[in-house]
Chains A and B, each alone.
Chain A
């Protein structure tokens, strides 16, 4: 699958207008310098040769050299990866904690005012544009109240992480909350929950221990799929909050037709997606004993 993605990206780039050497020259391009740059970038070779060279290098763990930065792509990506991972994990944490809590609260009394309020907020979270939400959060909590920094990585400080994580996590929080509620309501109707209640267990234990655990299985699936949303939302969040991550890198690289960086970044995104889904599968084993027996 990963090879398919790289081939697709390569071919898309080949049909896209624009020349990396020309894009690197600014507005006034000297013909001799342009020609030399095309040679340096190996753009004068046939497409098939260019792709084969790239794959050959990849097999040795070499992603090539960035046209724009003239540095190994592995280095360019490795610099931004920690910031991206931090943001994605923090956003997932926001989504899981807020989403599961809101979904559970809403499910306790379906149809109540609290339920409607929480689910309304969830829909709002799903449908609010990332750029707008980020701007609003920054305006309120950073510019007006001065509680948090407006933007930046801040050398990795926690304060700098809060607003970007909330922004990126918002979309996902809504999805998780709705799924948790729906799934819990479904589970609560099952016989074993009725049995637990009949045994006289307090509602807290019934919901928290017996029902929620089973209800979480579809929620975990949503979280796995949601990783893709986090990757899609990342470039916008990173732009609003000047976060030095992979999303911004990818957007800039596409703009500059910096093909080695585009290919490398897409490959990393694809890998993250695959690994994320693998982790979800492993989480099933943890939550649902039946899958453990089936696996054994």
Chain B
């Protein structure tokens, strides 16, 4: 196994490393004034579960790999990766001479420490594909058996079975590398004073006010262009917008309901940008419980709903109407997926077939959603549309913590759920949300159980990337759509305002305003 073949992927990684030169010569210096909508709960990669935390973590830490603008994994701390022919063993060679912000040099042992630490954090699923990880996560083993330090600069990761998106996991911020001595010296305080190898080092964090980072001159790629980054924490979107207009922020999000007016505003027009991201807003049923254990009833609802009103009126056409579950910006998306079309006659027939002609005997159906203005307005549209086929919805709004509880434990029968991909692969949508292994809090809140779909997903997850693999997901996706286990409304987009002097800000499908999640070391200010 030591003579593992270096797959073409590794060659692609190295080839992409030095690509894409910007048209203008970047200028060094200046402070980027960025903004968040909420205080990051933590700055520790092992404990983060939200995009705000990730936005800081990605500047302060590096992983073995990172994603470029096209969402391809490219080398970061790893110089190269070799994959065994059976797709089960990954050997990462680290760059020599990489230093943490403390000056200490990076070693392969840091990778093992960081991964094992994070595996017992809040996103253990990032590591669970490694042999022996499940036992370690549950506390039944003292280390992850399949995670081996080969020498000072090489680590070997052995998987139980091949897993196509594994390199994406290695580019994910939960797999960021931390220095053991700093973590141990600071204890829980590491979450408020992070130390990594990243292009920016931590300066200060005043809770609910601002996080400040500064350029790390010793970064392995050379110093970043920006001198400093200040992330202001501003909860009200209208306040963020006002700060941007007053010239106090260099970038922000477009407030709800202002997407079109901003794009027609003489001054803001050239600064507004809307691009698709990796998310889908959907409706789900608990398919185990009456009445929606009857697929005919679920299909009846799917045929009765028309998302175009929501897309065009409520969201001003600034999002993408959905056919299937996977968003168009996701690698593996298929435009051939057919949604159950708007057809109220067919909906009525299905209702009658299910024993509820004209909605009789159904009573008001509770529809659960987490409180916010948009979700409320969407729920009202759904309520009006379903009334046309005789179904009454009873709207139940709960705050997030209560909503996720009734969704997880299966007590909600019909509810909204959005999903944003953690990494750009169909597995992160379809397997997480619909595989019977993930029923409940792990992602399959529909409690959907379809052996044919399970098999397709298992095959797809293990196959090497390519058309044959994606074909498995398309088949599974169509089966789920036809079963109406999920009704897609629209795909998410990022709606951003960026000042003209901000150059080099990536607008990838993973980068969403106001947090962006883009590598800010590439950003420079032209003024």
Query: From residue 239 to 287 of chain B, which have CB atoms closer than 8 A to chain A?
Result: 239, 242-243, 245-246, 248
Q: Which residues of chain A come closer than 8 Å to B246, judged between CB atoms?
A: 142-143, 146, 149-150
B234 is an interface residue with CB less than 8 A from chain A: yes
If A19-B401, A32-B124 touch, whether A240 touches B239 (CB-CB below 8 Å) is yes
Given contacts A242-B234, A255-B400, A255-B401, contact A32 B137 (CB under 8 A): yes
Q: Is the pair A255, B404 in contact by a Cβ cutoff of 8 Å? A: no
Closest chain A residue to B210, Cβ basis: A152
A70 touches B42 (CB 8 A): yes
| Closest Cβ neighbor of A138 among chain B residues | B242
The stretch of A22-30, A47-55, A101-109, A175-183 in contact with B is: A22-30
Of the candidate stretches B69-77, B177-185, B201-209, the one touching chain A is B201-209
Q: How far is the CB of B48 from chain A (nearest CB, A)?
A: 9
Decide yes or no whether A257 CB sits under 8 A from chain B: yes
Cα A78 to Cα B191 in complex, Å, equals 18
Chain A residues, Cβ within 8 Å of B419: 27
In the complex, identify which listed stretch (A165-173, A187-195, A223-231, A244-252) lies at the interface while the others stay far away. A244-252
Known: A34-B441, A139-B242, A151-B242. A68 touches B41 (CB 8 A): yes
Q: Which residues of chain A are within 8 angstroms of B236 by Cβ–Cβ distance?
A: 239-240, 242
Instruction: Quote the shortest CB–CB distance from B116 to chain A (angstroms).
Output: 14
Complex interface: chain B residues within 8 A of A241 (CB):
239
Within 8 Å of chain B (Cβ to Cβ): is A44? no
Is there contact, CB below 8 Å, between A79 and B207? yes
Q: Which of A19, A71, A138, A255 contacts B399 (CB 8 A)?
A: A255
Chain B residues with Cβ below 8 Å from A33 are 120-122, 124, 137
Report how far A149 CA is from B33 CA in the complex, Å.
Answer: 15
A142 CA / B242 CA spacing, docked (Å): 8
Structural contact, A18 and B243, CB atoms closer than 8 A: no
Q: List residues 34-66 of chain B with CB under 8 A from any CB of chain A.
A: 38-39, 41-42, 47, 49-50
The answer to whether B238 touches A135, judged by C-beta atoms less than 8 angstroms apart, is yes
| CB-based contact A28/B401 at 8 Å | no
Contacts of A249 in B (CB 8 A): 207-208
- For window 12-40 of A, CB contacts with B under 8 Å fall at 16-20, 22-34, 36-37
CB-CB under 8 A from B440, the residues of chain A are 31
- Give the shortest distance, in Å, between A92 (CB) and chain B (any CB): 22
B442 and A70 form a contact (CB under 8 A): no
Please give, as numbers and ranges, the residues of chain B lying within 8 Å of A151 by CB-CB distance: 234, 239, 242-243
Interface status of B432 (Cβ within 8 A of chain A): yes
List B contacts of A34 (CB < 8 A): 441
CB neighbours of A245 from chain B (8 A): 208
Q: List the A side residues contacting B234 at CB < 8 Å.
A: 151-152, 242
User: Does A80 lie at the interface of the complex (its beta carbon under 8 Å from any beta carbon of B)?
Assistant: yes
Interface pair A80/B207, CB less than 8 Å apart: yes
Is A26 in contact with B50, judged by CB distance below 8 angstroms?
Answer: yes
B41 and A24 form a contact (CB under 8 A): yes
Chain A positions within 8 Å of B235 at CB level: 239, 242, 248
* 8 Å CB contact of A242 from B47, B233, B245, B404: B233
Kindly identify which residue among A17, A24, A80 contacts B405, using a CB–CB cutoff of 8 Å: A17
- B402 contacts which chain A residues (CB < 8 A)? 16-18
- Shortest distance from the beta carbon of A24 to any chain B beta carbon, whole Å: 7
With A and B bound together, what is the CA distance between A29 and B408 in angstroms?
Answer: 9
- Against B, the Cβ 8 Å flags (1 = close, 0 = not) of A54-68 are 000000000000001
When distances are taken between beta carbons in the complex, the residues of chain A under 8 Å from B405 are: 17-19, 22
Taken together as a complex, chains A and B put the C-alpha atoms of A135 and B239 apart, in Å, by 8
Instruction: Please indicate the chain B residues that have their CB under 8 angstroms from the CB of A135 in the complex.
Output: 238-239
For window 62-101 of A, CB contacts with B under 8 Å fall at 68-71, 76, 79-80
A153 within 8 Å of B (CB atoms): yes
- Residue B292, interface by CB 8 Å: no
CB distance from B19 to the nearest CB of A (A): 33
Does residue A277 face the partner (Cβ distance < 8 Å to B)? no
A18 to B368, CA, bound (A): 14
Q: In whole angstroms, what is the CA distance A202 to B43 when docked? A: 66
Q: Which residue of B lies closest to A255 (CB)?
A: B399
Q: A6 contacts the other chain (Cβ, under 8 Å)? A: no
B447 at interface by CB-CB < 8 Å: no
Chain A residue numbers with a CB within 8 Å of B41 are 24, 68-69, 256
Q: Could you tell me if B124 and A80 are in contact, using CB atoms closer than 8 angstroms?
A: no
Taking CB as reference atom, which chain A residue is nearest B247? A146
- Contact across chains for B208 and A29 when beta carbons are under 8 A apart: no
In the complex, A274 Cα to B210 Cα: how many Å?
Answer: 32
Chain A 139-164: CB-based contact to B (< 8 A → 1; otherwise 0)? 10011001001111100000000000
- Chain A residues lying within 8 Å of B120, measured Cβ to Cβ, are 33, 36
Contacts of B239 in A (CB 8 A): 135, 138, 150-151, 240-242
| B406 lies within 8 A of chain A by Cβ | yes
B243 surroundings in chain A (CB, below 8 A): 150-152
Is B192 part of the contact surface with A, judged by Cβ < 8 Å?
Answer: yes
- Give complex CA distance A257, B403 in Å: 12
A17 to B396, CA, bound (A): 13
- Residue of chain A at shortest CB distance from B121: A33
Contact of A150 among B123, B191, B242 (CB under 8 A): B242
Min CB distance B433 to A, Å, is: 9
Asked if B188 is at the interface of the complex by the 8 Å CB criterion, the answer is yes
Name A26's contact: one of B122, B209, B210, B399 (CB within 8 Å).
B122
Q: For the complex, is B435 an interface residue (Cβ under 8 Å from A)?
A: no
A17 engages B441 (CB within 8 Å): no
A248 cross-chain contacts in B, Cβ below 8 A: 208, 235
**Beyond A150-B248, A151-B242, A240-B239, is A23–B404 a contact (Cβ under 8 Å)?**
yes
Partner of A29, one of B128, B206, B441: B441
CA distance A23 to B191 in the complex (A): 18
Chain B residues with Cβ below 8 Å from A239 are: 235-236
Asked if residues A71 and B192 are in contact (CB atoms below 8 Å), the reply is: yes
B399 touches A18 (CB 8 A): yes
Among B38, B50, B137, B232, which residue has its beta carbon within 8 angstroms of that of A30?
B137
Query: Cβ of B401 and Cβ of A17 under 8 Å apart?
Result: yes
Asked if B206 and A153 sit within 8 Å, CB to CB, the answer is yes
Closest A residue by C-beta to B128:
A30
Write out the residue numbers on chain A whose beta carbons fall within 8 Å of the beta carbon of B408. 22, 29
- Known contacts A150-B248, A153-B206, A244-B208; A28 and B432 CB within 8 A of each other: yes
Task: List residues of chain B with CB within 8 A of the CB of A27.
Answer: 404, 419, 443
A28 and B125 contacting across the interface, CB-CB below 8 Å: yes
In the bound complex, do residue B209 and residue A30 qualify as a contact, i.e. CB atoms below 8 Å apart? no
Neighbour of B49 across the interface among A24, A70, A242, CB < 8 A? A24
B2 within 8 A of A: no
Q: In the complex, which residues 214-235 of chain B have their Cβ closer than 8 Å to any Cβ of chain A?
A: 232-235
Residue-wise interface mask of B (86-123) relative to A, using a CB-CB cutoff of 8 A (1 in contact, 0 not): 00000000000000000000000000000000001111
Distance between Cα atoms of A31 and B124 in the complex (Å) = 10
C-beta contact mask, A179-211 vs B, less than 8 Å → 1, else 0? 000000000000000000000000000000000
How near does chain A come to B459, taking the closest CB pair, in angstroms? 22
Q: Report the Cα distance A279→B200, complex, angstroms.
A: 49
User: In whole angstroms, what is the CA distance A135 to B440 when docked?
Assistant: 42
CB<8 Å pairs between A and B, sample of 19: A28-B125, A29-B442, A30-B123, A30-B128, A30-B442, A36-B139, A69-B41, A70-B47, A143-B245, A149-B246, A150-B242, A150-B248, A151-B239, A151-B243, A152-B210, A240-B236, A240-B239, A244-B208, A248-B208
A residues within 8 Å of B by Cβ? Answer: 16-20, 22-34, 36-37, 68-71, 76, 79-80, 135, 138-139, 142-143, 146, 149-153, 239-242, 244-245, 248-249, 252, 255-257
